[in-house]
Amino acid sequence: MGRRKLRQRQAEEVVKKRQSEHFSLQTLRGMRDICKNEAEEWVKFTQMIHEVGKMFDFNYLETPILEHSSLFQKVTNDDGVGVLNKEMYNFVTQGEDKVTLRPEITPGIVRAYLEDGMQSLRHPVKLYTMGSIFRYERPQEGRYRESHQLDFEMIGVEYPIAEAQLIQIAFYIFRKLELENIVLEINSLGCRDCQREFYKQLKRYFARVKPKLCENCQIRAKKNPLRVFDCKEESCQEELKDAPLIMDNLCKACNKHFKEVQEYLDALQIPYRINTRLVRGLDYYTHTVFEFWREGDEVRRQNALGGGGRYDHLVEEFGGKFTPAVGFALGMDRVVAELLKKKKKKSEKPFVFLAQLGDKSRHKALQLFEKLWEAGYYVKEAFTKTSLRTQLRIAKQEKIRWVLLIGYKEAIEDTVIIRDQVSGVQHIIEQDKLVKFLEDKKKEEEAEKISNLSNS
């Protein structure tokens, strides 16, 4: 009896040990893998960004994802309800350094500008980068705890043409990606002098409506009133309808600066809307701010594709001399999500299915596959399947009309069997005449579609 209890206890200890060693095969909440179709779009997107950077003469820069916490404390007004307090991944290292996973990229770029001696370069210093940012927020569609940004920054330029050029770059990116119906919203937050006077007016106004604001905005109204405009609560948005506007408090110089930005955008024929309530979520912005939306999303105020603005005092706040700067960021996850939606709507069905039977024919099929892709045809295949019946079943499931079949005889004679899955008719033609045959069939199908539309 004693031995039985001992064996039972030993078995229980083994189970507990295995349970303690168990690990989860799931990603953390708000984190994800980038794979399959999304990974394909991601690679195209990042390659294109490097081309754009080169075209507009921007230099690539990478900054660490882990920085001293003080870097972000320096640029974020910690009002108790903002990014610093609620959304940042802060921790202490074994060496007792207080560090943070970056919640945005711009402060790291400014730190690099100063630390790496870029002040001695010819200005403006034009930099771009791509990378991860981390915010502990509620995950939702297009919003993750680890997300990705691309940034374009111009440091050391005060002229309003800089804002226009950066917006031009963003629109060039959208055009290259064939993303249509992009809405640009712009506003001016004025200089520090304009903001000081405006803050006084806002605080007086919010003191009257304070009980109607959400709990977070009641704190913001006292410490950082401009951030109330960034609140998504309907009750707060309702109270903002009668709030004073920064646009009514701009000095002469700020008015002139904002007007010139608009004139440059007009010259570039970039459409825009002035949104007098537009603010950015961080506190270092002055003068021009802007955001990019897909048409319709800006009404719901959800999932901006990106935005930016001027931050003339950030270098100075980091210990450098006064150096005006401007930049913008795009949320790469959201842009890729839009690309996938577009691809899904326009997804091209494979025009041909390439089937093969036998080792020698598989070699020929690989060569023909590449030739057809180079000719612009979307080709489906199942080279890992040896059964012809299985391959034809896949072609049927994919609803592909034209099946190209290469067997041993066809491989020797450089021919191919073409089977019309609709009519069941088969043709045997030489491989060097295949592309011409498919072009003719494609034209016939397009003419048939047009004829059917006309008749209907």
3-state secondary structure of 31: coil
Count of CB atoms within 10 A of residue 189's CB? 24
pTM: 0.72
- Band of residue 5 on the pLDDT scale cut at 50, 70, 90: confident
Per-residue confidence at 118, pLDDT binned at 50, 70, 90? Answer: very high
- Find the angle CA(139)-CA(141)-CA(145) to the nearest 5 degrees: 30
Q: Own/partner pairs for 119-124, CB < 8 Å, 24+ apart?
A: 119/320, 119/321, 119/323, 123/155, 123/156, 123/157, 124/154, 124/155, 124/156, 124/157, 124/162
168-190 pLDDT, tens digit each:
999 999 999 989 889 999 999 99
Instruction: Kindly report which listed range (78-92, 218-232, 377-391) carries the lowest average pLDDT score.
Output: 78-92
Residue count of the chain, please give it: 456
- Indicate if the pLDDT at residue 285 is higher than 50: yes
**What is the DSSP secondary structure assignment for residue 122, as one 8-state letter?**
P
* pLDDT of 347: 47
Side chain identity at 17, as an amino acid letter? K
Can you point out the beta strands (E) in 324-386? 325-331, 352-356, 379-381
Residue type, 97: D
Q: Which whole-number Å values give the CA distances from 414 to 354, 363, 380, 429, in the listed order?
A: 15, 12, 20, 9
Show the tokens assigned to 437.
């045959």
Mean pLDDT to the nearest integer, 221-230: 75
Residues 5-37: b if buried by 16+ CB within 10 A, e if exposed: eeeeeeeeeeeeeeeeeeeeeeeeebeeeeeee
Q: Rg for the chain (alpha carbons), in Å?
A: 30
Residue 284 has pLDDT above 70, yes or no: yes
Q: Could you give the domains of the chain?
A: 36-191+251-343 (3.30.930.10), 349-455 (3.40.50.800)
Residue 432's nearest CA partner among 350, 353, 364, 363 is 364
Stretch 85-114: mean pLDDT, rounded? 91
Question: Identity (one letter) of the amino acid at 203?
Answer: K
Look at residue 19 in the predicted model and tell me its pLDDT: 57
DSSP, res 225: G
Picking from 244, 230, 250, the residue whose alpha carbon sits closest to that of residue 190 is 250
C-alpha span between 425 and 427 (Å, rounded): 7
pLDDT tens for 298-355 read 655 667 899 999 999 999 999 999 999 999 999 999 999 888 887 765 445 677 899 9
- Higher-pLDDT residue of 124 and 220 is 124
Calculate mean pLDDT across residues 101-107.
Answer: 93
- The strand pair at 352-356 and 379-381 is best described as parallel
The answer to whether the beta carbons of residues 341 and 356 sit under 8 Å apart is: no
Given a contact cutoff of 8 angstroms between Cβ atoms, the answer to whether 328 and 306 are in contact is: yes
pLDDT at position 422: 85
Beta bridge partners of 131: 149
How high is the mean pLDDT of the chain? Answer: 85
Q: Closest Cα partner for 401 from 429, 438, 357? A: 438
**Which of helix, strand or coil describes residue 12?**
helix
Task: Give the DSSP H/E element, type plus range, for residue 420.
Answer: strand 415-420
Cα 357 to Cα 394, 414, 421, distances in angstroms: 15, 14, 18
Task: Decide: 166 and 154 in contact? Cβ < 8 Å.
Answer: yes
